[in-house]
Amino acid sequence: MPSTKSNAVGRLRLSLVVAGLACLAACASHPKPPLPAPSHAAPPVAEAPPPRAAAPPAAPIESRPLPGSVQDFVVNVGDRVYFDLDQFNLRADAEPVLAAQAAWLVRYPSVQVRIEGNADERGTREYNFALGARRANSVKQFLILHGVASSRIATISYGKERPIDPASSEAAWAKNRNAHTAITQGAR
């Protein structure tokens, strides 16, 4: 019967052999890195990474005007109404725009506006200044009747001095006969 001491030594030898074989197996599966190329040789070419899948296009960013801002007023309400030739009374198509302006101004009580009356190029300078003033006052009166304090509304006439369209045609003149509501203070 073999001794316990020799059994322990045998087990130790067996463990060392198994450990050595495991080390050899590990070295065999990981080859040594190549030696650096001599300095006069060209550097090795790096392998290109695999192509990446194209990312889907980003969704368009919706930009809505900030409520209570000048842009909100212009885009969502409308800042201009138009008049017929030599007229300062409000047309039917102006009333919904002015009603929306009044509602917006009532909603934002710190906002102040200036109504700018304009005319086309026909007529004398004096006549067009007077006509622009009457157009601006027509808009002001409408806004007051719809709940906007008169202290928040200023008026000015530019007559024919600030045309939207500088052309001399019926289409240009129709654009230039207007009253523009400009926010002067209090918008976000």
- Find the CATH number of the domain harbouring 128: 3.30.1330.60
pLDDT range class, residue 94, cuts 50, 70, 90: very high
Distance CA 131, CA 76 (A): 28
More confident residue, 143 or 38: 143
Tens digit of each residue's pLDDT (9 = 90 or more) over 5-59: 666 666 767 776 666 666 566 655 556 666 665 556 555 666 766 777 777 777 6
Residue 168 lies in a domain: yes
What is the pLDDT at residue 47?
A: 72
What is the pLDDT at residue 56?
A: 73
* pLDDT at 83 exceeding the cut of 60: yes
* pLDDT at 96 exceeding the cut of 80: yes
Tens digit of each residue's pLDDT (9 = 90 or more) over 116-129: 999 999 999 999 99
Residue that has been written with the tokens 């087990």 in this structure:
11
What percentage of the chain carries pLDDT values higher than 90? Answer: 65
Residue 14 lies in a domain: no
Mean pLDDT score across all residues of the chain: 86
Range with lowest mean pLDDT among 21-35, 59-73, 75-89, 134-148: 21-35
Residue 30 lies in a domain: no
List Cα–Cα distances, 12 to 2, 5, 8, 16, 145, in angstroms.
16, 11, 6, 6, 106
Structural domain for 166, as ranges? 70-185
Burial, 96: exposed, middle or buried (Cβ in 10 Å; 0-12, 13-18, 19+)?
A: exposed
pTM of the model as a whole = 0.67
Range with lowest mean pLDDT among 55-64, 69-78, 99-108: 55-64
Residue 96 lies in a domain: yes
* pLDDT at 136 exceeding the cut of 80: yes
Residue 47 lies in a domain: no
* CA 185 from centre of chain: 22
Residue 16 lies in a domain: no
* pLDDT at 104 exceeding the cut of 70: yes
* pLDDT at 78 exceeding the cut of 70: yes
Number of structural domains, the chain?
Answer: 1
Residue 4 lies in a domain: no
What is the pLDDT at residue 11?
A: 74
List Cα–Cα distances, 42 to 33, 35, 37, 45, in angstroms.
18, 14, 8, 9
Residue 75 lies in a domain: yes
